[in-house]
Amino acid sequence: MARDCAFDGLDAAVMAQGYPGYDLADQVWLGRRTLTVEFHGHTAHASAQSFMGRNALDAASLMYQGIGLMRQQTPPSDRIHAVIREGGERASVVPDHA
């Protein structure tokens, strides 16, 4: 920017941040919002009485898939990321929290 005389006539520049390699008249600023979602279900033994449980991990998985499908309708300037941090501890138990 200095080589292109962007600061000529200025006494001071507090902050200047450009995009490397190309010029943009209107920069895209990406903000960040964090959302934590918890799903609560009901524990049950996965092979003996799975019908007695409500699987919180299934609910979290469905939401994760829905987010992935929503990306198709999201503008290119937006970003959506997700991670399932907790989804049960044993394969033989329907998880009650995710």
In this prediction, residues 3-27 reach a mean pLDDT of 74
Read off the pLDDT of residues 16-74 as tens digits, 9 standing for 90 and up.
666 666 666 666 667 788 899 999 999 999 889 989 999 999 999 999 999 999 988 99
Strands in 30-83 per DSSP E: 44-45
For residues 57 and 87, the answer to whether their CB atoms sit within 8 Å is yes
pLDDT digits (tens, 9 = 90+) for 65-88: 999 999 889 988 788 889 999 999
Residue-wise burial string across 52-61, b where 16 or more C-beta atoms lie within 10 A, e elsewhere? ebebbbbbbe
The pTM for the full model equals: 0.66
